[in-house]
């Protein structure tokens, strides 16, 4: 099964007088048909830049400095070679945009045109790519609205007349207007409250099952991806740190950053545990020092780390590395999953000991930490 979207060695920089800002550095990511790939990272990690850059939607001074983005949808390639989005002209891009790859934006309130009715905005997407008479297009728009569970009378409404959750559903309906093969979702639920979030997420899963599109799900919340995604890619400072099947990543993280992320959110089930977070801040993307960008915040950093070449390599010594559902790759050659697991366990035991030694201090610390 060949991937539907293959990003290879993509780099995106923002040109500025004071020096380029390297937002994305040599990232390779594949998306298979019908798959959900989660792209996870802190804000400023370059995950959105990666997605929008691959679609060539970034404005000046953004510049794509290396790589290719190959798309293999049958409608475009008719079974032949994949086409590289980065070499397309504006006219060719029009054919791909929305019809093949659609985007669900983060803030629906900002991404919807305030002066157009919802129906018109959905019709826009339909009629730009599908040749059909107006009444047919309107019927299609209505059926899309049904699909996302919004009453049809809301079609004539303006964006500000809808609730946040409804607006996000409209965004999803809009994205599906031209039957795309790939849907990029840029933090679609971040601005919503938890209950609505759940709703939208299960809706997305249901739609994906029904219509068969692939999803690139961008978020800073790793916990969402563990249930939603087939594979996960973890990004930091413009580079990929680790990729692999979701279950594998959760059980056997191979990169200290992933480990840090996993320890940063509580799970609803399971034993109560201490939350850690990751101390420090992401680096300035203007000066790219050699080696791993995570060094200042990494508990396992050694001198060798500043000459690591940051390419993704298969994880060695991991029991699950040989599973069929996607290779497990990491950018950290220093640490293995077992070492990570041992170190985390040791740290937890150490904290347990200190908690037993002085319960009051531990209690106050706990309150502060979570």
Partner 1 sequence: MKSGFFAGIANIWRNLPGKAKVGVWLFGFFVLAAVIGPEVAPYAPGAQTPLTQAAPSAQHWFGTTQTGQDVLSQVLTGIRLTLELALLVGVIVTVISVLVGVSSAYLGGVWDDVLSLITNVFLVIPALPLLIVLLGYLSDQGQTSTIVVLSLLGWPWGARVIRAQTLTIRGRDFIAASRETGEKTWRIIGFEVIPNEVSLIAASFVNTVLYAIGASVALAFVGLTNVTTWSLGTILYWAQNDSALQGGAWWWFVPAGLAVALIGTSLVLLNSGIDELGSPRLRATRGTARVAGHRIWPTDPTPVLAQLEAEPGRLGSFLHSFSRASVLQETSAGGNR
Partner 2 sequence: MSYLIRRLAFYLVAAWVAITLNFFIPRAVPGNPAEIILSKYPDLTPSAYKALSQMIGGALQKGSLWSQYLHYWDNVFHFNFGTDLNQFPTPVSQILDQAIPWTLILVGTATVIAFALGTGLGILAGWRQGGALDRSLPVLMFFQAAPYFYVALLLVDFFAIQHHWLPAAQGFNGEVTSPGWTWSFISDALEHSILPAFTIVLTSVAGWMLQMRNVMITTISEDYVIAAQAKGLSNRRVVFTYAARNALLPQLQGFGLALGFVVSGALIMEIVFSYPGIGYLLLESVTNKDFPLMQAIFLVITFAVLVANLVVDLIIVFFDPRARAREAA
Looking up tokens 């933090």, which residue turns up? 187
**Does residue number 87 form part of the binding site for partner 1 (CB under 8 A)?**
yes
* 323 in Cβ contact with 314 (< 8 Å): no
Q: Which does 128 bind (CB under 5 to 8 A by kind): partner 2, partner 1, none?
A: partner 2
Contact region for partner 2 (CB under 8 A) — 14-22, 114-122, 240-248, 358-366? 114-122
Alpha helices in the chain (DSSP H): 47-54, 74-77, 90-96, 108-111, 118-127, 134-147, 164-175, 194-211, 222-228, 246-251, 256-262, 337-357, 359-369
In angstroms, give the least distance from the CB of 255 to partner 1.
Answer: 29
Strands 36-40 and 62-71: unpaired
Q: Which two tokens stand for residue 245?
A: 């099947």
Q: How many CB atoms lie within 10 A of CB 64?
A: 18
- The alpha carbon of 258 is separated from its chain's Cα centroid by a whole number of angstroms, namely 14
Q: Which is it for the CA torsion 349, 353, 354, 358, positive or negative?
A: positive
12, 13, 39, 103: which one binds partner 2 (CB under 8 A) = 103
Among 124, 179, 221, 339, contact with partner 2 (rule: CB under 8 A): 124
Distance of CA 125 to the CA centre of its chain: 23
Contact with partner 2 (CB under 8 A) among 62, 112, 150, 241 = 112
Would you count residue 62 as binding partner 1 (CB under 8 A)? Answer: yes
Cis before residue 370, ω within 30 degrees of 0? no
Identify residues 35-54 at the interface with partner 1 (CB under 8 A).
Answer: 52-53
Under the binding rule (CB under 8 A), the answer on residue 274 touching partner 2 is no
User: 353 touches which of partner 1, partner 2, none (CB within 5 to 8 A by kind)?
Assistant: none
Q: Does 115 bind partner 2 (CB under 8 A)?
A: yes
Residues 38-67, interacting with partner 2 (CB under 8 A): 55, 57, 59
Q: Which of 43, 77, 110, 163 binds partner 2 (CB under 8 A)?
A: 110
Residues near partner 2, by CB under 8 A: 55, 57, 59, 93-99, 102-103, 105, 107, 110-116, 124-125, 128-129, 158, 160-161, 174
The binding site for partner 1 (CB under 8 A) comprises 12, 15, 52-53, 56-66, 86-88, 90, 93
């Amino acid at each position: 099964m060949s991937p539907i979207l293959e990003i290879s060695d993509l780099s995106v920089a923002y040109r500025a007088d004071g020096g380029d800002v390297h937002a994305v550095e040599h990232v390779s990511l594949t998306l298979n048909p019908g798959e959900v790939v989660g792209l996870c990272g802190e804000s400023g990690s370059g995950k959105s830049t990666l997605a929008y850059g691959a679609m060539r939607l970034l404005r000046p001074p953004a510049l794509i400095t290396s790589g290719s983005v190959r798309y293999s949808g049958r409608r475009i390639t008719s079974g032949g070679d994949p086409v590289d989005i980065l070499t397309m002209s504006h006219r060719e891009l029009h054919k791909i945009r929305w019809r093949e790859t659609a985007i669900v934006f983060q803030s629906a309130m900002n991404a919807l045109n305030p002066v157009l009715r919802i129906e018109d905005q959905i019709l826009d997407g339909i009629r730009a790519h599908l040749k059909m008479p107006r009444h047919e297009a309107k019927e299609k728009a209505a059926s899309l609205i049904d699909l996302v569970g919004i009453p049809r009378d809301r079609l004539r409404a303006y964006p500000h007349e809808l609730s946040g959750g409804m607006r996000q559903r409209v965004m999803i309906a809009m994205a599906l207007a031209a039957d795309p093969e790939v849907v990029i979702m840029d933090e679609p639920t971040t601005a919503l409250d938890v209950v609505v979030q759940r709703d939208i997420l299960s809706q997305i899963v249901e739609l994906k099952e029904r219509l068969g599109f692939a999803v690139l799900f961008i978020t800073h919340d790793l916990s969402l991806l563990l249930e939603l995604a087939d594979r996960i890619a973890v990004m930091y400072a413009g580079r990929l740190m680790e990729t692999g099947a979701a279950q594998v990543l959760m059980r056997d993280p191979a990169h200290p950053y992933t480990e840090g992320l996993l320890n940063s959110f509580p799970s609803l089930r399971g034993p109560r545990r201490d939350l850690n977070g990751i101390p420090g801040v992401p680096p300035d993307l203007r000066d790219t020092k050699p080696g791993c960008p995570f060094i200042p915040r990494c508990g396992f950093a050694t001198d060798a780390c500043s000459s690591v070449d940051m390419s993704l390599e298969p994880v060695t010594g991991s029991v699950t590395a040989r599973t069929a559902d996607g290779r497990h790759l990491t950018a950290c050659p220093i640490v293995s999953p077992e070492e990570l697991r041992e170190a985390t366990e040791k740290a937890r035991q150490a904290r347990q000991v200190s908690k037993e030694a002085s319960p009051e201090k531990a209690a106050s610390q706990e309150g502060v930490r979570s």
